[in-house]
Amino acid sequence: MTLEVGVLGYRFMGKAHANALARLPMFFPDAPDAERSVLIGRDEAALTEAADRLGFESIATDWRDVVDEVDVFYNLGPNHVHPEPSIAALEAGTPVFCEKPLAPTLEEAERMADAAREAGVVNGCAFNYRFVPAIRYAKRLLDDGELGEIHHVRGRYLQDWLVDPDAPWSWRNDEEMAGSGALGDLGAHTVDLLRFLVGDLAGEMERVSGHLQTFVEERPVEGSDETRPVTVDDAYSAQVAFENGAMGTLEASRFANGHKNDHTIEIQGSKGSLKFSLERLNELELLREGDRGYQTILVTDADDPYVDHWWPPGHVVGWEHTFVHENYEFLSAIADDGEFAPSFEDGLAAQRVLAAIEESDERGEWVTIE
């Protein structure tokens, strides 16, 4: 069985997933055959060049011509492009993989999740950090009760690419296209990762108190003398109350000078603690009951999650490999008529938290997550 894949978007995420699809048969021989069938975009010249470079057989300038013709539809476009093409593909019975956050607004995310439920086909939301071997290792420790009862959960995602006030405006700075700034772009990853790791132990996030901040109100438009307003947040922070009484803190910023892609998770329980940073993604810092300090575990052994597909112990994997793992699981679920997580339901659950944080900032009080 060969799955013909249509991909909307050919820049950052399009490149990451095209690379993953190319690597699958080499390192995951049991993966379904996946053909990079058609690449979708608006600029025909740029699209033609990208299709040739990324290994796609054909191009299309209108997603409407594609969604009911391919076996799988990947929606990797900007946030405001997520709802309509994804819903159309689902209504055509085509499995859909969509970038995060699921949509610019909670209402649109609900529409997308409703469409996925009604379609009954495999659907996925692109939270690739679930597929880091060290995160899978941490999940196993937590599920086995190694940390005991969960007391504290901390998640932060820090970048610095907008510290310069002259950094050019992009769609990520626009509320209509992006929905939110660091909150949706980075915070969505943190919320999903914490739900994945401690959701079965601490329950869902129940209440939040949030604060959003924009530091630069307008930015120059590249190639012109114009500026455009920044209508999203540059940074956010939030306190979180979990269903079982655990306390959480969340934070993300595009203004954290000196941090390039620092996604850090800390979990403290009654029997132990763990720490993870994306900038050292092959390592997990672990404190077990009775230990006098943290131990650093290098998660590269053949019996660690996914690592048997790659290199000998100590030969690390990287950020790009998370997409290979993600595509392997998603395409296998389609081929085996199974289920995939994180699904649109997971994307919607994260969006509810993000929306509550934004509402809390507007109201200046704690908000219950509905």
pLDDT digits (tens, 9 = 90+) for 158-182: 999 999 999 999 999 999 999 999 9
> Residues 22, 83: one domain?
yes
φ, ψ of residue 358 to 5 degrees: the values are -65, -40
Q: Is the pLDDT of residue 370 over 90?
A: no
> Residues 137, 284: one domain?
yes
Instruction: Write the CATH number for 197.
Output: 3.30.360.10
Domain membership of residue 328 (yes or no) is: no
Element (H, E) at 39: strand 33-40
Q: Is the pLDDT of residue 347 over 90?
A: yes
> Around 267, how many Cα atoms within 13 Å sit in the side-chain half-sphere?
31
Instruction: Write the CATH number for 26.
Output: 3.40.50.720
> Residues 280, 198: one domain?
yes
Domain membership of residue 280 (yes or no) is: yes
> Residues 118, 218: one domain?
no
Residue-by-residue DSSP string for 278-317: GGGTTEEEEE-TT-SS-EEEE--STTSTTGGGS-STT---
59 conformational bin, left if phi > 0, alpha if psi -120 to 50, beta if neither: beta
% residues pLDDT > 70 (the chain): 100
φ, ψ of residue 231 to 5 degrees: the values are -115, 15
The 10s digit of each residue's pLDDT in 39-70 is: 999 999 999 999 999 999 999 999 999 999 99
> Could you tell me the two tokens for 16?
């990451």
How many domains is the chain built from?
2
> Residues 146, 192: one domain?
yes
> Residues 114, 178: one domain?
no
pLDDT for 72 equals: 98
Helices 319-335 and 12-27, axial angle in degrees (round to 10): 70
The 10s digit of each residue's pLDDT in 330-343 is: 999 999 999 999 99
Domain membership of residue 358 (yes or no) is: yes
238 conformational bin, left if phi > 0, alpha if psi -120 to 50, beta if neither: beta
> Residues 200, 292: one domain?
yes
Domain boundary at 80, 99, 127, which? 127
Domain boundary at 105, 127, 149, which? 127
Domain membership of residue 188 (yes or no) is: yes
Domain membership of residue 194 (yes or no) is: yes
- Could you give the angle at the alpha carbon of 109 between the alpha carbons of 241 and 98, nearest 5°? 105
> Residues 276, 219: one domain?
yes
Strand order in the sheet with 33-40: 58-60, 33-40, 2-8, 72-75, 96-98, 123-125
Domain boundary at 74, 97, 127, which? 127
Residue 74's pLDDT band (boundaries 50, 70, 90)?
Answer: very high
> Residues 167, 122: one domain?
no
- What rounded mean pLDDT belongs to the chain? 97
Domain membership of residue 332 (yes or no) is: no
Taking the model in full, what pTM does it have?
Answer: 0.97
> Residues 59, 108: one domain?
yes
The 10s digit of each residue's pLDDT in 81-123 is: 999 999 999 999 999 999 999 999 999 999 999 999 999 999 9
Domain membership of residue 368 (yes or no) is: no
pLDDT for 1 equals: 78
> Residues 217, 347: one domain?
yes
The 10s digit of each residue's pLDDT in 181-236 is: 999 999 999 999 999 999 999 999 999 999 999 999 999 999 899 999 999 999 99
> Residues 289, 152: one domain?
yes
85: domain range? Answer: 2-127
Domain membership of residue 66 (yes or no) is: yes
